[in-house]
């Protein structure tokens, strides 16, 4: 499962969402301004900063989760390779 932590005003988030849509990659968007627990998670993996987009990939094959901050679509696709996450 791919989750993108985002805000409505984030241009980088809009760009990545468009690229994921174009590539046919399924994802869930979580607005960190509306979800305090999501904001806490984002801060925990970004040195206390609410940096978005933060992408979290939880593999279906039991492997380690992958977290990336402001990744390119190429980085997301590479991370999805071999995780068992359907794109």
List the 28-31 sheet strands across, edge first. 28-31, 2-6, 54-57, 66-69
Q: Which residue segment(s) compose the domain that 72 sits in?
A: 2-80
Instruction: Give the pTM.
Output: 0.89
In a domain, 86, yes or no: no
In a domain, 66, yes or no: yes
Structural domains of the chain, count: 1
In a domain, 87, yes or no: no
In a domain, 46, yes or no: yes
Characterize the bridge pairing of strands 66-69 and 28-31: unpaired
Q: Pseudo-torsion of CA 5, 54, 75, 80, nearest 10°?
A: -50
In a domain, 34, yes or no: yes
In a domain, 59, yes or no: yes
The number of residues in the chain equals 87
CA 61 to each of CA 10, 32, 36, 56: distance values in angstroms, whole numbers, following the listed order: 31, 27, 29, 15
CATH assignment of the domain containing 27:
3.40.30.10
Per-residue pLDDT of the chain (87 residues), as tens digits, is: 899 999 999 999 999 999 999 999 999 999 999 999 999 999 999 999 999 999 999 987 777 899 999 999 999 999 998 655 544
């Amino acid at each position: 499962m791919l989750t993108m932590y985002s805000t409505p005003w984030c241009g980088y988030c809009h760009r990545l969402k468009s690229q994921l849509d174009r590539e046919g990659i399924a994802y869930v968007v979580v607005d960190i301004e509306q979800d305090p627990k999501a904001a806490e998670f984002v801060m925990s993996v970004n040195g206390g900063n609410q940096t978005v987009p933060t992408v979290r990939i939880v593999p279906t094959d039991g492997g380690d989760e992958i977290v990336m901050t402001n990744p390119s679509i190429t980085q997301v696709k590479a991370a999805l390779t071999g995780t068992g996450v359907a794109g």
